[in-house]
Structure 1
Amino acid sequence: MDRLNVKEQEHLTQVLEAKQLKEYLNMYSTLTQNCFSDCVQDFTSSKLSNKESECIAKCADKFLKHSERVGQRFAEFNAKYMGQ
């Protein structure tokens, strides 16, 4: 980024921030869809049952841990690849 002028740096920063937001929203959407379809079974009540709430909490925790681990592995791979 040292070779970019201030305007180009600002534009690049905006593009990266927009991309990060899009990725976050995509991850949130995927999490919501997966956990809802896996855990919510009873549509006769407007509230979640205890079983559904527990399932969603476990599902979300598992999804986030998985996403974090994938990110770590990608960073490790990238560091190894860039180091060669």
Structure 2
Amino acid sequence: MDGLTQAEQRELESRLQKRQVKEFMSVFGNLVDNCFNACVDDFTSKALSGREGGCIARCVTKSMTTQTRLGERFAELNAAMSAEMQKR
């Protein structure tokens, strides 16, 4: 952020924060949709059945674990690419 005024830095940070929130809400919304569609199939009661609740818990755990691993792998690849670029 060298070369930016303080006002420009604040504006950039604000935009980045808004983008992060938007991306988080998108991931969260997809998680809810996917787990609901995969696990909930009995609409005779307002409450989740034991099977549905267990399915949702597993679905959320699996999705969060996958997102975490994807983030880690992306960071690994990014570091490798950066190291390769510095060698040149």
Report the TM-score, using the length of structure 2 for normalisation. Answer: 0.92
**Higher Cα radius of gyration:** 2
Q: Aligned residue for 1:43?
A: 43
Is 2:78 the counterpart of 1:78? yes
Instruction: Tell me how far 1:2 sits from its aligned partner.
Output: 2.2
Instruction: Tell me how far 1:79 sits from its aligned partner.
Output: 1.1
Instruction: Tell me how far 1:72 sits from its aligned partner.
Output: 0.6
Once superposed, which parts of structure 1, at least 4 consecutive aligned residues long, lie more than 6 Å away? Answer: none
Structure 1 unaligned segments of length 5 or more: list them.
none
Range 74-83 or range 47-56, more displaced: 74-83
Instruction: Tell me how far 1:60 sits from its aligned partner.
Output: 0.2
Instruction: Tell me how far 1:82 sits from its aligned partner.
Output: 1.4
Amino acid at match of 2:8: E
**Alignment RMSD:** 0.7
- What are the Cα deviations for residues 29-64 of structure 1, in whole angstroms up to 9, with x where unaligned? 010000000000101111100000000000000000
The alignment covers a number of residue pairs equal to 84
Structure 2 unaligned segments of length 5 or more: list them.
none
Report the TM-score, using the length of structure 1 for normalisation. Answer: 0.96
Q: Aligned residue for 1:55?
A: 55
